Structure 1
Amino acid sequence: MHRLFVGLRPPPAMREALLAAMGGIDRARWQSAEQLHVTLRFIGEVERPLAEEIAIALGNIRFPAFDLAVSGVGSFDTRGRPHSVWAGVKPHETIARLHRKVDQALVRSGLEPERRAYLPHITLARLNSASGPVDRFLDHHADLSTAPFRFNNFLLFESTLASEGARYEAIARYRLDP
């Protein structure tokens, strides 16, 4: 089985800005530079034949290269308890259009369509019940931003879960139109 997702890898300068903002939440599992990404679509575990079909379908996507910038921070929670903190990206409309194209290609490959609302973001830390409060971090970094960076490709990643966190390996790169 292959655990897959489609995403964007931020360029080095954007990753450096995000790494510099990390800290200040007790017992948070901060992401490494290699883990930072914007998910376009989580796929999950698939057998090799379907993974190959997915790779081909993604290669048929035509979409123009675009700029994204980091813009603010937030958290996701379950029943009022934060489980991750993230940095937002903008503009939302452009990346949401690419998300829809990726989703449509995956549906044509036999996957179920994405049912959750799409909120483009870069996960900075994962939290558990022992993690400290996030309010101070969110207040301190509310205006976190970067200059826009050009994204010329998107990637198919394989995710391997490990005790120290997930490892992501780009297994295919798809060029965006110039």
Structure 2
Amino acid sequence: MPRLFVAIRPPAFVRERLLSIMDGISAARWQSEDQFHLTLRFIGEADRRVANDVHTALQGVRHPPFEIALHGLGTFERRGTPAALWAGVTQHQPLRELHKKVDQACQRAGLPPERRAYLPHVTLARLNRASGPVAPVIEGMGGFTTAPFAVDVFHLYESILSSGGSHYVIIETYRLK
């Protein structure tokens, strides 16, 4: 069964900016440029019927285009140890509204509501106990930020797992209007 999620793909200039800061943490598994995305809703494994229902529901999402920028770096921790390094997002409100509409569409397709708090971010690296210190990298970046960029589409992705990590494929695109 395909493993699905809904996300925004940052434009090329933002992806290039992210690539330019990805250094300085030993044993980090850095994301590749084609893995950069800002998740709106994780769906998980879905059979063809559910995938079709999600697609149909997402076609009905209505939201005006908006602008956001990436700002700040942080980590998610697992048992007190950094597990992921991420870039945060400014101007959350339009993004949060879109997230809510996407979640409601997924519920109309028969999925349970998202239970986790929504923290918009772009994952830069996966970390483990062997990874070097993260704090100096975050401090060294100071006020990491990107120029604002327009969000006028979002995508339904399939995550394909392999021994080399996940590979993400856009399977549908939805225009904001």
How far is the alpha carbon of 1:105 from its aligned partner?
A: 0.5
Secondary structure of the residue aligned to 1:118 is: coil
Q: In structure 1, what is the equivalent of residue 158 of structure 2?
A: 158
- C-alpha separation between the residues in 2 aligned to 1:92 and 1:162? 33
Structure 1 letter corresponding to 2:133: P
Shift of 1:47: 0.5
Report the counterpart of residue 96 of structure 2 in structure 1.
96
Alpha-carbon RMSD across the aligned residues, in angstroms, is 0.7
Q: Output the CA distance in 2 between the equivalents of 1:116 and 1:24.
A: 30
> Partners in 2 of 1:133 and 1:169 — Cα distance?
32
Q: Which moved more, 1:116-125 or 1:138-147?
A: 138-147
- SS state at 1:71 partner: strand
For the pair 1:72 / 2:61, whether they are aligned, the reply is: no
| AA matched with 2:96 | A
- What is the alpha-carbon distance in structure 1 between the residues aligned to residue 114 and residue 2 of structure 2? 19
How far off its partner does 1:142 sit? 3.5
For the residue of structure 2 that corresponds to 1:138, the secondary structure is helix
Task: Look up the equivalent residue of 1:37 and give its one-letter code.
Answer: H
Question: What amino acid is aligned across from residue 109 of structure 1 in structure 2?
Answer: A
Question: Counterpart of 1:161 in 2: which secondary structure?
Answer: strand
- Alpha-carbon deviations, 1:61-94, whole Å to 9, x = none? 0001111101010000011111000000111111
Match of 2:34 in 1: 34
5+ long unaligned stretches in structure 1: none
Aligned to 2:17: 17
Point out 4+ residue stretches in structure 1 off by more than 3 angstroms: none
SS at match of 2:69: strand
Query: In 2, distance between residues paired with 1:135 and 1:13?
Result: 26
TM-score, normalised to structure 2, is: 0.98
Q: Which amino acid aligns with 1:47?
A: D
TM-score, normalised to structure 1, is: 0.98
Per-residue Cα deviation, 1:94-132 (whole angstroms, up to 9, x for no partner): 111100000001011111100110000000000112111
In the comparison of the two structures, how many residue pairs are matched? Answer: 177
Where in structure 2 are there 5+ consecutive unaligned residues?
none
Q: Distance in 2 between matches of 1:77 and 1:125?
A: 13
Q: Percent identity?
A: 53
Quick one: distance in 2 between partners of 1:6 and 1:90? 19
Match of 1:148 in 2: 148
CA distance, structure 2, for counterparts of residue 94 and residue 32 of structure 1: 27
